[in-house]
Structure 1
Amino acid sequence: MQIQVVKSKIHRVTVTGAELNYIGSITVDEALMEAANIIEGEKVQIVNINNGERLETYVIKGNRGSGEITLNGPAARKVQKGDIVIIISYALMDFEEAKQFKPSLVFPNTENNAIG
């Protein structure tokens, strides 16, 4: 049996922009992506702490060390600059493997820098 489990999480990061007139996706600072073990193009769930919205999109690599978290395209209607969001990715794995798996969790500081 295979189950879906949390693979990566960037917990409570501040949205720095919302660009409606863009193809779509979320742009994430490359340093945060690496800290959370998320790759460009990976599907993620975005949970908006401010309004309860949940949506799925894919990640685009942002400039390293910029702190950028920008929701692009239709997702920009679900967030505002300054909102706090959680970015979560999931993995499908064997049930027994999942029991031993440890997700990559990142708790950014107020400047969206990865601190662990």
Structure 2
Amino acid sequence: MLRKICKGKLHRLSVTQADLNYMGSITLDPLLMRAADIHPYEMVQITNLATGVIWQTYAIPGGENSGAVCLNGPPARHFQPGDTIIVLSLGWMDDKEWSTLEASVVFVDEENHITSVVKHRPAKEMPLE
């Protein structure tokens, strides 16, 4: 059986730009993408902490070490500069892959520069009751 899992999380990013006229996506600093295991054009889920809006789009790299977080196209109507968001990198894994998962939670400062990365591994045995 395949399970949908969170393999990476960018926690409490600040939106730096919203570009309604761009064709779509989220532009992210490549340092953030690598830390959360997000590849260019990979689908990600974005949640706006102020409004509760959840959006899915693909990620594209911006300038290295820029702290860029730009919502492009239609999501620019729901995410504005200064909004705090969470970006999840999701994937499908079978139970064997799950046992080797190392999910990353990336914490940032006010300029979206990485302050720490916490790695999570599944417990050897997960209690079902």
Query: Deviation string for 1:73-101 (max 9, x for gaps)?
Result: 00101111100000001111112432441
State how far apart, in whole Å, the 2-side matches of 1:83 and 1:57 are.
17
1:38 aligned partner, one-letter code: I
Q: Distance in 2 between matches of 1:92 and 1:114?
A: 26
Distance in 1, matches of 2:74 and 2:8, equals: 23
Q: Which residue number corresponds to residue 43 of structure 2?
A: 43
- Kept in 1: contact 2:37–2:89 (CA 8 A): no
**Computing the radius of gyration over CA atoms, which structure comes out larger, 1 or 2?**
2
| 3-state secondary structure, aligned to 2:113 | coil
Cα distance in 2 for partners of 1:69, 1:8 equals 16
SS of corresponding position for 2:89 = strand
- The answer for the alignment partner of 1:82 in structure 2 is 82
Other-structure match for 2:16: 16
The percentage of aligned residue pairs carrying the same residue is 45
Tell me the equivalent position of 2:95.
95
Greater RCO, 1 or 2 (C-alpha within 8 Å, sep 6+): 1
* Separation (CA, whole Å) in 2 of partners of 1:72 and 1:110: 21
> CA contact under 8 A between 2:15 and 2:80: conserved in structure 1?
yes
C-alpha displacement of 1:51: 0.7
- Tell me the equivalent position of 1:33: 33
Runs of 4+ in 1 over 3 A off after TM superposition: none
**Secondary structure of the corresponding residue to residue 110 of structure 1:** coil
Q: Give the stretch that moved more between structures: 2-11 or 96-105.
A: 96-105
Distance in 2 (alpha carbons) for counterparts of 1:49 and 1:34: 23
More displaced, 93-102 or 43-52? 93-102
Q: Which runs of 5+ in 1 are unaligned?
A: none
Matched residue count: 116
For normalisation by structure 2, the TM-score amounts to 0.86
Shift in Å, 1:24: 0.3
The match for 1:62 is: 62
Q: Render the CA deviation track for 1:53-87: whole Å, top value 9, x for unaligned.
A: 00100001010111010000001011111000000
Query: How far did residue 37 of structure 1 move?
Result: 1.3
